[in-house]
Structure 1
Amino acid sequence: MQDSRIWIKLIQTETFVADSPQNDEARKARLLSVDEHGAGQRLDNFLMREMKGVPRTRLYRALRKGEVRVNKGRAKADYRLKEGDTVRIPPLRVPAVGAPAVVPAHRLDALAKAVIYEDGDLLVVNKPSGLAVHGGSGISFGLIESLRQLRPDQAYLELVHRLDRDTSGLILLAKRAVILRELHRQLREKHIDKRYLALVEGKWPAASRLISAPLEKNVLQSGERMVRVTAEGKASMTEFSVLERLQGATLLEVRPITGRTHQIRVHARHAGHPLLGDEKYSNSVAEDLARRLGLKRLFLHAVSLRFTLQGSGKFDLHAPLDQLLENTLEKLRK
C-alpha cells in the first residue's frame, strides 16, 4: 500500500507529455561529446543545461542509479567534465511545462530551402537574420531546435559554431560527435577560413586592412549585452578588404582572426565606419543612410566557409545574400 502511494505521488508531481510520434526521439538515449566550452563544468550543471525541463530531483536520481554515464562508467554529480568526454543522456521524459515549442510549419519550410549542403556528417544552413541559434531568454525556439524538428530521425545534431541573431549566413552543424570534435579542433587551431560580407558607412580606407583592438563584454543595467574596446579586454583581430565603393558606403569582405562576441561590428565602429543596420553600434550618419535605403536589418552575412575533413576532402561553401541585402546594394549602385 505504501508503494502505491509513492507511485501516485510521483505521477502527480511529474506529469509527462502524452505519447506521440514527435516524442519518440526524446525517449532515446543520447551520446554527447564535451567540447572546450563544456570542459571544467560540473556534470550536474551540464545535465541541467542539456535536459531543460527535467526536475532536479529526477536528474540526481538518474545519476545515483547510473542512468547517466560518462565514458561508459558511473560518475558523481560533482565530476568535472573534460574535453572529449562522452556523456550518455538517458531517455528521461520531460514534463509538459518544459516541452519544446513546436516550430511553425512555414518556418520549417523556409529552413528546408535554406540548406546549403548535407551529408552523413554535416548539415550546412544559410541562417536567416533574426533567428537565434538556440532558444532561451524569452525565445521559444532557435535554429537548433528548428532543425531538430526538421530532421526528427537524426539522433545527433549539434551546432559547430554560432552566429549572432541579427547576422545571416553559413552555419555548420555536426551529425556525429567525432565530427564535432574535429571541427572544434580546427576552429581552435584556425584551420577553418570564415569570410563575411559587411556594408559599412562611409569610405573605408584601403590601407586599413587589419584592426587589432582588445574587446571586453559588458552587460548594461537593462540586461543588454554590449562589447567595447578597452585595454583590459581580450586580444581581438579582424581583417577587412574593400570589395566595392558605393555612394556613402563601402562593401567589405571580412575575415575574423579571433572569434569574440560582436567582434566585426565593434571593430568596424572602432575604425569609424559602423555597419549599416546595426542597432547596437551605429552612429547618426549610418542610421540616416540605412533609413533612406529602407534597410531594417544588420548588413552582415557569413558568405563562405573553407575547411578540409579527412575522408570527405575539401569544402568550399558559399551562401548568397538575401533579397533585402541585394536590393540595398542595387539602390546604392544606382
Structure 2
Amino acid sequence: MKTTQTNPDIDIIYEDNHLLVVNKPSGLLSQEDHTGDPDILTLCKEYIKKEHKKPGNVFLGLLHRLDRPVSGVMMFAKTSKSASRISEQIRQRTIKKKYLAVVEGNPPPNGYLTHHLLKDEKTNTVKVVKPNVKGAQDAKLMFHRLETVKNLHLLEVSLITGRPHQIRVQLSAEGYPIWGDQKYGDSKNSTPALHAFRLKIDHPTLKEEIVFTAKRPEFFPWNKFSASDSF
C-alpha cells in the first residue's frame, strides 16, 4: 500500500485528482491545535506538495474529523469543487459511516440508540441530557455485535447523526463503554478501541457511489478477534 512517507507515516487508501483518503493512525490529531503535535491535515499537505511537486501553499479541504485517539478512514478534498460537493453530502446526511468498536459490559446482539447530547466546550466532554436542555442535540446510531471473546465484544456501529464523541458517549451511557476509554469509561488505558472502518460517498465528479475501507489496527484488543475486515 502506498503511504505518505511522513513522520508518522500514513497509509493511503485512495487518491485521484479530487480526493485523498487515508487511514488515520490512533493518537494523531485531525488538524493543528495549541499543542503543536503532528496533525494529519498538515502531514497530508506535505505529502501532496512533495509527491506532486506543488509550489507554495497546497489546498486540501478537511471534510470531517476523527477524535485524536480514534483511527480509521479520513477523506480530504483536493479541489474546492470537490470540497463543496462532499460538504453538501455531509449536510444532507447521505454519506454513510461505519465504525468498529471493542466494548465491555454486555451489549445485546443488535441495538438502536437515541439520546440527546450536550457538549461542554471548556472540558471538551459530552454528556447525555434531557431533550429540553438548551443546546442539546439528538444523537442516533445502530450497532450489531460481530464477535465476543471472553468479556470483550466487537461491534459494528452505523452512525445516523454525527455528533462530537457520539459513539463513545452513547455506548457508555448504555453500560457498554469502549475498551480503553478513560474519558467515558473507567479504563486506565489511554486509547479507546474505536476505528472508523467504512465510508460510503457519491464521488464528487464521477457521480457514482464509492466505498472506502480502512484496515483495523493489529494490536490489542483488536487482535483478539477473528472477524474479517470485509463486513
TM-score (norm 1): 0.60
**What are structure 1's unaligned runs of at least 5 residues?**
1-104
**What are structure 2's unaligned runs of at least 5 residues?**
227-231
Q: Does 1:215 align with 2:117?
A: yes
Query: Secondary structure of 1:214's partner?
Result: strand
Instruction: Identify the residue that residue 130 of structure 1 maps to in structure 2.
Output: 27
Does the 8 Å contact 1:243/1:252 carry over to 2? yes
Note the alpha carbon deviations across 1:229-271, whole angstroms, 9 max, x for none: 0012211111111111221121100111111100000000011
Structure 2 vs 1, CA of residues 254 and 332 (structure 1 numbering), >3 Å: closer, same or farther?
Answer: closer
Which residue among 147, 165, 178 is the counterpart of 1:244?
A: 147
Q: Does 1:150 align with 2:19?
A: no
Does the 8 Å contact 1:203/1:245 carry over to 2? no
Query: Secondary structure of 2:107's partner?
Result: coil
Instruction: Identify the residue that residue 98 of structure 1 maps to in structure 2.
Output: none
Does the 8 Å contact 1:160/1:184 carry over to 2? yes
Instruction: Identify the residue that residue 169 of structure 1 maps to in structure 2.
Output: 72
Which residue among 226, 240, 249 is the counterpart of 2:125?
A: 226
Does the 8 Å contact 2:23/2:214 carry over to 1? yes
Distance in 2, Cα, partners of 1:332 & 1:314: 30
Instruction: Identify the residue that residue 107 of structure 1 maps to in structure 2.
Output: 7
Instruction: Identify the residue that residue 229 of structure 2 maps to in structure 1.
Output: none
Distance apart, 1:313 and its partner CA? 2.2
Question: How many residues end up aligned between the 2 structures?
Answer: 211
Instruction: Identify the residue that residue 83 of structure 2 maps to in structure 1.
Output: 180
RMSD of equivalent CA atoms: 1.9
Structure 2 vs 1, CA of residues 245 and 121 (structure 1 numbering), >3 Å: closer, same or farther?
Answer: same
Distance apart, 1:322 and its partner CA? 1.7
Structure 2 vs 1, CA of residues 172 and 329 (structure 1 numbering), >3 Å: closer, same or farther?
Answer: closer
Does the 8 Å contact 1:307/1:315 carry over to 2? yes
Distance apart, 1:331 and its partner CA? 3.9
Distance in 2, Cα, partners of 1:255 & 1:332: 19
Distance in 1, Cα, partners of 2:197 & 2:223: 18
Larger relative contact order, structure 1 or 2 (CA cutoff 8 Å, min sep 6): 2
Does the 8 Å contact 1:198/1:275 carry over to 2? yes
Instruction: Identify the residue that residue 221 of structure 2 maps to in structure 1.
Output: 328
Structure 2 vs 1, CA of residues 251 and 229 (structure 1 numbering), >3 Å: closer, same or farther?
Answer: same
Q: Does 1:190 align with 2:72?
A: no
Which residue among 317, 320, 332 is the counterpart of 2:212?
A: 317
Distance apart, 1:193 and its partner CA? 0.9
Query: Secondary structure of 1:203's partner?
Result: coil
Instruction: Identify the residue that residue 63 of structure 2 maps to in structure 1.
Output: 160
Distance in 2, Cα, partners of 1:329 & 1:123: 26
Query: Secondary structure of 1:205's partner?
Result: coil
Distance in 2, Cα, partners of 1:225 & 1:320: 28
Q: Does 1:308 align with 2:202?
A: yes
Distance in 1, Cα, partners of 2:59 & 2:79: 6
Note the alpha carbon deviations across 1:247-300, whole angstroms, 9 max, x for none: 1121100111111100000000011000001110003xxx2xxx7xxx652100
Query: Secondary structure of 2:155's partner?
Result: strand
Structure 2 vs 1, CA of residues 332 and 160 (structure 1 numbering), >3 Å: closer, same or farther?
Answer: closer
Does the 8 Å contact 1:216/1:234 carry over to 2? yes
In terms of fraction of residues, the more helix-rich structure is: 1
Distance apart, 1:106 and its partner CA? 5.2
Query: Secondary structure of 1:178's partner?
Result: helix
What pairs up with 1:3-152 in 2 under 5 angstroms? Answer: 107=7, 110-111=9-10, 114-152=11-49
Does the 8 Å contact 2:146/2:155 carry over to 1? yes
